[in-house]
Amino acid sequence: MTGPSAADLLTAASAAQELLGRVPDFAAEVPAMDGDVRKIVVHIASCLTWYAHDLVAGPPESVGPMPQWPDDAAPADLVRELGVAAGVLARVVATATPDDRGWHPWGVADAAGFAAIGIAELVLHTHDVAAALGLPWTPPAGPVAATLARLFPDPPADGDAWAALLWATGRGELPGRERVTDWRYAMEPR
């Protein structure tokens, strides 16, 4: 498996949970995601659940699970559920064979691809929350570098992987490079 591991996914999830657990108001708006913090946390947990399902389901598209959490769930419970969803995906990634593949709208991926998009969901949307609320946050470097390398075939080789991932997903700028306005993950195994 070339790319991030199940351990990288759990490391990213722990960092996201730490930041999200400190958010004082889950009704605070996150303009980058057109919703509030609660919606973003549920979105991340739902994606992680979907990714685990998709890798187990295999290459054909599946109607999949419909994860749903109660509207009145406490913020601490939602942050915990995000960790549970990351744990499920990490276990699926850890037990996948090198030949296992799963469907995603952007292409069929291997376990490393699903670990990478899981990490991307965690770190990018946690960043969206942190930026909206003015909270300083930087995700763990190892999972970010592995995710950047796995999902973007020609990542900028110079500088900080986190700045490059933000740039590659249209969330930041890099000196000497045009701003990214349209992007897509490279899901195919490499």
What distance in Å separates the CA atoms of residue 122 and residue 41, rounded to the nearest whole number?
9
Residue 27 belongs to some domain of the structure: yes
User: How many other CB atoms are there within 10 angstroms of residue 88's CB atom?
Assistant: 17
Residue 142 belongs to some domain of the structure: yes
Distance, CA of 40 to chain centre: 11
Structural domain range at position 62: 6-168
Residues 6+ apart with CB under 8 A from 165: 120, 123, 124, 144, 147, 148, 152, 155
Each residue of 139-171: pLDDT tens digit? 999 999 999 999 998 778 778 999 999 999 999
pLDDT (tens place) for every residue of the chain, 190 residues total: 579 999 999 999 999 999 999 999 999 999 999 999 999 999 999 999 999 999 999 999 998 888 889 989 999 999 999 999 999 999 999 999 999 999 999 999 999 999 999 999 999 999 999 999 999 999 999 999 999 999 998 778 778 999 999 999 999 999 888 999 999 999 999 8
Domain count, the chain: 1
Residue 178 belongs to some domain of the structure: no
Structure tokens at 107: 């292409």
**Which CATH number fits the domain that encloses residue 131?**
1.20.120.450
Residue 176 belongs to some domain of the structure: no
Residue 11 belongs to some domain of the structure: yes
Residue 173 belongs to some domain of the structure: no
Residue 147 belongs to some domain of the structure: yes
Residue 62 belongs to some domain of the structure: yes
Q: Is-contact 20 82, C-beta < 8 A?
A: yes
φ and ψ at 101, to 5 degrees? -135, 155
pTM of the model: 0.96
59-68, long-range: CB < 8 A, 24+ apart: 59/101, 59/102, 59/103, 59/108, 60/103, 61/103, 62/103
